Amino acid sequence: MKKQKDLEEILGHIDGKGYAAYRDIKGEYECKGYNLCIDHVQVDPFAPPSKVRVKVAESMHQIPKNLWDSRAKKIATSDFLTRTFRDNIRKLYDGVGGSGKSGLLLIDDCGAQMIERTSVMISEKIIEVRFEVGLPAAGRKVLGRSATQIFCRVLPQIVEASLLYKNLNQKALKNQVELMLDQEVIREELKKRGLVTFIANGAVLPRENGISQRPLKKESIPFKSPESLEVTLELPYRGKVKGMGIPRGITLIVGGGYHGKSTLLNAIELGVYNHIAGDGRELVITNEDAIKVRAEDGRSIEKVNISAFINNLPNGKDTIHFSTQNASGSTSQAANMMEALEVGTSCLLIDEDTSATNFMIRDSRMQRLVKKEKEPITPFIDKVKRLYEEKEVSTILVVGGSGEYFDVADLVIMMDEYEPKDVTKEAKEIANSFEMKREVVEEEPFGTITVRTLDKSSMPALGRDTRIKVRNRECISYGKSDIHLDYVEQLIDGNQTNCIGAMLEYIVSEMLTKGTMTINEIIDKIYTKIEKEGLGAISSYTRHSGNLVLPRKHELCAAINRFRELKVRELKS
């Protein structure tokens, strides 16, 4: 193995040469306390930065094993080390000049959530950090001295400050691991107690603004549970914690505009992830399989059974195997809901503001004017109870304009200036006091949830003209088609989209040759592989894929369903 001095000599030798000379530095180097791996060298200073790894042996980093001896602990510690490495880049590195991306030093920029990622990989023998370096150049000439400054002067300082236990904020690391373990205990308690979500007293739910993940510290009102909904949890590290527990069933969140309805729902929908300390929502925990459902005009749909909600269309269009390239609000919301049930969920999250009105409700006056036999849509209000009774799927619904849902709700929470109040009794009394009631549709079974089998021919092999490319957090291109994820609201990190792109590559390259499988079976096999072998196992660039963040199965399934060339060959009940 080459030594660090060999790297310095190479960089000195190629200084001033054409940029292609940087290829000579590719390889692994033994440095003081760690190994440096330069895996991929960018082709020019304007190309994506070069892929680099640092490997530190356990005997050197000396991070106690009890901080990384389980998957949950590894995720917490990896997250902590990634943030520490990033912070030390900013603290210890001023950058170097040059053309294009010269001098960039980048690692995954974690958000407010602790999610499995490939930026820091922890194993029995080593900690491996994966990051990117913009190799410096003047025009297209190598700046060897500047590169030496990065690799041989600055990087050793960053590694020492970020990865050696003696130099870490040990208390903060321990607290983060313990927070993760407390969060996992809450998730287990939700299942035991028949709850779908828990919001701790004192939580700060509002954000600084609509595009920020930072908590609104000034003027924010700490969350306080109504007494009737308050539960107490015993956590291993934080001890007794009190907060609001929402039980399984049908829950409405009501209240005036700007009183915090959607803010509460947003915290609940992001509670499928664990949050870091200081976020304000670190003890807002929701069942991991809860799915936010909304209308999505214009999306493509491929053979989804939406007949539970839409039937007898005037043009005779099949709604048992419903397909379209341009869905309406109601058909898109029906498909989104049935796809959520297909992949598996215990709770649907819905905001009236982002729903199709005719999918959600037909009031009594409209029922009298347009007879049922002339209306192909059975609104969600007539299905929501059956959904819970037959499929054990709960619903949390933000409602601001339709009190008709009082009739079917098990729980009604009113947000009053960001303070939740249990108004179930009052809502039921109001519902019973009205003489003009909507006609209750004759109760029928909810309907069939179909499981679809992927047609391999719709996902062509990858090649020069057929590539999968992640364009941004909301868009992946596959060949000539774009997969739009704008309305997949629980996808919260652009590197989750990178991971979905890698997963799609893996499906096309490794799985479509192994017989007939349903979409669910394909997804389950990928996640089983990740659980056994680590997140990098599904990437074709395993050795330097430092920009992958694990999405949930539901977001991967959402991407597959939004591929406009998708075909399913058969349907199974």
| Residue range 162-182, pLDDT digits in tens | 999 999 999 999 999 999 999
Task: Kindly report the average pLDDT of the chain as a whole number.
Answer: 93
Please give the average per-residue pLDDT across 18-33, as a whole number.
Answer: 96
The pLDDT of residue 312 is 81
Is the pLDDT reported for residue 436 higher than 70? no
Q: Where does the pLDDT of residue 314 fall: very low under 50, low under 70, confident under 90, or very high at 90 and above?
A: confident
The pLDDT of residue 39 is 94
The pLDDT of residue 214 is 86
Token representation of residue 56: 């530190």
Condensed to tens digits (0 to 9), the pLDDT of residues 180-198 reads 999 999 999 999 999 999 9
Please give the average per-residue pLDDT across 466-492, as a whole number.
Answer: 95
Please give the average per-residue pLDDT across 455-463, as a whole number.
Answer: 88
Please give the average per-residue pLDDT across 334-358, as a whole number.
Answer: 96
Q: Where does the pLDDT of residue 362 fall: very low under 50, low under 70, confident under 90, or very high at 90 and above?
A: confident
Is the pLDDT reported for residue 482 higher than 70? yes
Share of the chain above pLDDT 90, in %: 80
Contact 482, 565 (CB under 8 A): no
Among 10-24, 83-97, 400-414, the minimum mean pLDDT is found in 400-414
Q: Where does the pLDDT of residue 377 fall: very low under 50, low under 70, confident under 90, or very high at 90 and above?
A: confident
The pLDDT of residue 213 is 81
Q: Where does the pLDDT of residue 22 fall: very low under 50, low under 70, confident under 90, or very high at 90 and above?
A: very high
CB pairs under 8 A, 24+ apart, for 160-164?
160/33, 161/84, 161/88, 161/91, 161/92, 162/81, 162/84, 162/85, 162/88, 162/129, 163/34, 163/54, 163/56, 163/61, 163/81, 163/85, 163/127, 163/129, 164/33, 164/56, 164/60, 164/61, 164/62
Q: Where does the pLDDT of residue 94 fall: very low under 50, low under 70, confident under 90, or very high at 90 and above?
A: very high
Is the pLDDT reported for residue 403 higher than 60? yes
Among 220-229, 339-348, 375-384, 475-484, the minimum mean pLDDT is found in 375-384
The pLDDT of residue 376 is 82
The pLDDT of residue 435 is 65
Is the pLDDT reported for residue 453 higher than 60? yes
CB atoms within 10 A of CB 521: 15
Please give the average per-residue pLDDT across 434-448, as a whole number.
Answer: 72
The pLDDT of residue 442 is 56
Please give the average per-residue pLDDT across 33-54, as a whole number.
Answer: 96
Please give the average per-residue pLDDT across 378-397, as a whole number.
Answer: 95
Please give the average per-residue pLDDT across 514-528, as a whole number.
Answer: 89
The CA-based angle 180-186-191, given to 5 degrees, is 135
The residue ranges of DSSP E strands in 137-257, in sequence order, are 137-138, 141-142, 195-200, 230-235, 239-247, 250-254
Contact 136, 108 (CB under 8 A): no
The pLDDT of residue 150 is 97
37 forms bridges with which residues in the sheet?
A: 28, 53
The pLDDT of residue 573 is 55
CA–CA dist 450, 453 (Å, integer): 10
The pLDDT of residue 313 is 80
The pLDDT of residue 445 is 86
CB atoms within 10 A of CB 533: 11
The pLDDT of residue 443 is 64
Collapse the DSSP code of 1 into the 3-class scheme (helix H, G, I; strand E, B; otherwise coil) and give the result.
coil
Is the pLDDT reported for residue 42 higher than 60? yes
Is the pLDDT reported for residue 542 higher than 60? no
CA–CA dist 44, 47 (Å, integer): 5
The residue ranges of DSSP E strands in 346-467, in sequence order, are 347-351, 394-398, 411-416, 419-422, 451-454
Burial class (CB in 10 A: 0-12, 13-18, 19+), 135: buried
Q: Where does the pLDDT of residue 236 fall: very low under 50, low under 70, confident under 90, or very high at 90 and above?
A: very high
Residue where the block lists tokens 């292609």: 20
The better pLDDT of the pair 449, 364 is held by 449
Please give the average per-residue pLDDT across 199-216, as a whole number.
Answer: 89
Is the pLDDT reported for residue 364 higher than 70? no
Burial of 244-255, coded b for 16+ CB within 10 Å and e otherwise, reads bbbbbbbbbbbb
Among 44-48, 371-375, 381-385, the minimum mean pLDDT is found in 371-375
Share of the chain above pLDDT 70, in %: 95
Is the pLDDT reported for residue 79 higher than 70? yes
Is the pLDDT reported for residue 223 higher than 70? yes
CA–CA dist 26, 38 (Å, integer): 5
The CA-based angle 113-348-567, given to 5 degrees, is 95
DSSP code at position 558: H
Collapse the DSSP code of 202 into the 3-class scheme (helix H, G, I; strand E, B; otherwise coil) and give the result.
coil
The pLDDT of residue 1 is 87
Q: Where does the pLDDT of residue 472 fall: very low under 50, low under 70, confident under 90, or very high at 90 and above?
A: very high
Please give the average per-residue pLDDT across 250-260, as a whole number.
Answer: 93
Which domains, and CATH codes, for the chain?
Answer: 2-168 (no CATH), 184-449 (3.40.50.300), 451-572 (no CATH)
Q: Where does the pLDDT of residue 373 fall: very low under 50, low under 70, confident under 90, or very high at 90 and above?
A: low
Among 49-63, 339-353, 383-397, 438-452, the minimum mean pLDDT is found in 438-452
Is the pLDDT reported for residue 60 higher than 60? yes
